[in-house]
């Protein structure tokens, strides 16, 4: 199973909630420092997602978490991320949060310790909404060296659609191996 949504295995249909499930597996990998799938373990213990959910349900969370995560001193935050991961791993897709909800929750968890320590958050909820909801309006700059013709470097275009948040930023792309 690994990262695959259990509903996909039954219906052969991927949904936005399938991505949420996969992201939940990634969260669990970060919390436990274990791989999503361990074929060298007994059948009931091969799927990290299943092992994690069972451990949470029977109150053995600390036994499955990476020691460094537990010793970091922010166990309340770890518990909240654990709860989020468990919701992402719900067998039923309709019970999982949306990716927007996941992003907001993670942003809230990231900001809370910074505010209590006097720091300033890196991004606002409005910025997170923009980054998650809209396609990139990146400016592309042609970085071919002198003497490289357009035919050999691939076609590079520049998007001139201006956007307030992108006015002072540029995304630089270099053709790889002369664009071949």
Cα–Cα distance measured from residue 131 to residue 143, given in angstroms and rounded to the nearest whole number: 26
Residues β-bridged to residue 140: 171
Q: What is the distance of C-alpha 83 from the center of its chain?
A: 16
Encode the chain (180 residues) as per-residue pLDDT tens digits: 789 999 998 999 999 999 999 999 999 999 999 999 988 888 888 899 999 999 999 999 889 999 888 887 688 889 999 999 999 999 999 999 999 999 999 999 887 654 444 444 455 666 656 555 555 444 444 444 455 555 454 444 444 444 444 444 444 444 444 554
Listed by start position, the domains of the chain span 6-97, 135-179
Three state DSSP letters for 38-69 = CCCCCHHHCEHHHHHHHHHHCCCHHHHCCHHH
CA distance 134 to 176: 27
DSSP for residue 9: H
Q: What homologous superfamily is domain 6-97 in, according to CATH? A: Transferase(Phosphotransferase) domain 1 (1.10.510.10)
């Amino acid at each position: 199973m690994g990262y695959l949504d259990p509903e996909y295995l039954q219906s052969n249909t991927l949904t936005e909630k399938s991505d949420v499930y996969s992201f939940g597996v990634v969260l669990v990998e970060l919390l436990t420092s274990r791989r999503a799938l361990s074929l060298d373990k007994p059948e009931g213990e091969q799927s990290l997602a299943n092992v994690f959910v069972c451990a949470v349900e029977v109150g053995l969370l600390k036994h499955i978490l990476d020691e460094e995560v537990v010793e970091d001193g922010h166990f309340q935050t770890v518990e909240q991320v654990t709860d989020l991961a468990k919701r992402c791993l719900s067998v039923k897709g309709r019970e999982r949060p949306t990716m927007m909800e996941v992003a907001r929750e993670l942003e809230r968890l990231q900001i809370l310790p910074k505010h209590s320590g006097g720091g300033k958050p890196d991004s606002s909820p409005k910025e997170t909404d923009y980054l998650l909801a809209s396609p990139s309006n990146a400016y592309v700059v042609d970085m071919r060296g002198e003497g490289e013709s357009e035919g050999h470097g691939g076609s590079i275009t520049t998007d001139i659609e201006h956007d307030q948040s992108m006015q002072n930023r540029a995304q630089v792309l270099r053709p790889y191996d002369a664009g071949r």
